[in-house]
Amino acid sequence: MMTERWGRKGARLVTAAVLATPLVALASGPVRAAVPLGEQLYKSNDCVTCHAVNQKLVGPSYVDIAKKFAGQKDAVATLVKAVKDGHVGTWGMVPMPPHPTLSDADIKAIVEWILSLK
């Protein structure tokens, strides 16, 4: 009986937490196959500590990045390089650190997802 009550309460708490914070979703890993690969990779890497989709954190929001680079034909290559090598100066004087251990393919998937958010 106790177990069942806690089980239901626990499930409700987990549901509320997952809805409330992307960090919880990060901890539990990709939940649905419908989540784009780029979004999954964003959530499973350090990007979440500095970037949100709709809100400026340490770095610019992904929607703002998508708008700024909309229609630029070299946007993917430019942004993959920025994430790989690190970048500063486009959005302010706070630098983004380099990501030398992420593969170009993974960064490209994240960047293509970001550019789809505009």
Residue range at the interface with ligand HEC (CB under 6 A); choices 9-17, 23-31, 43-51: 43-51
Residue range at the interface with ligand HEC (CB under 6 A); choices 3-11, 14-22, 25-33, 48-56: 48-56
65 scored as a contact of ligand HEC (CB under 6 A): yes
- Select the residue interacting with ligand HEC from 5, 33, 34, 89 (CB under 6 A): 89
- Burial (CB < 10 A; 0-12, 13-18, 19+), residue 51, is buried
- Select the residue interacting with ligand HEC from 25, 51, 66, 109 (CB under 6 A): 51
- Select the residue interacting with ligand HEC from 90, 103, 105, 116 (CB under 6 A): 90
- Select the residue interacting with ligand HEC from 43, 59, 75, 108 (CB under 6 A): 59
Q: How far apart are CA 116 and CA 67, in angstroms?
A: 9
Residue range at the interface with ligand HEC (CB under 6 A); choices 2-10, 14-22, 23-31, 85-93: 85-93
Joined tokens for residue 69: 């680079």
Are 89 and 38 contacting, i.e. CB atoms less than 8 angstroms apart?
no
Are 22 and 48 contacting, i.e. CB atoms less than 8 angstroms apart?
yes
Q: How far apart are CA 92 and CA 110, in angstroms?
A: 22
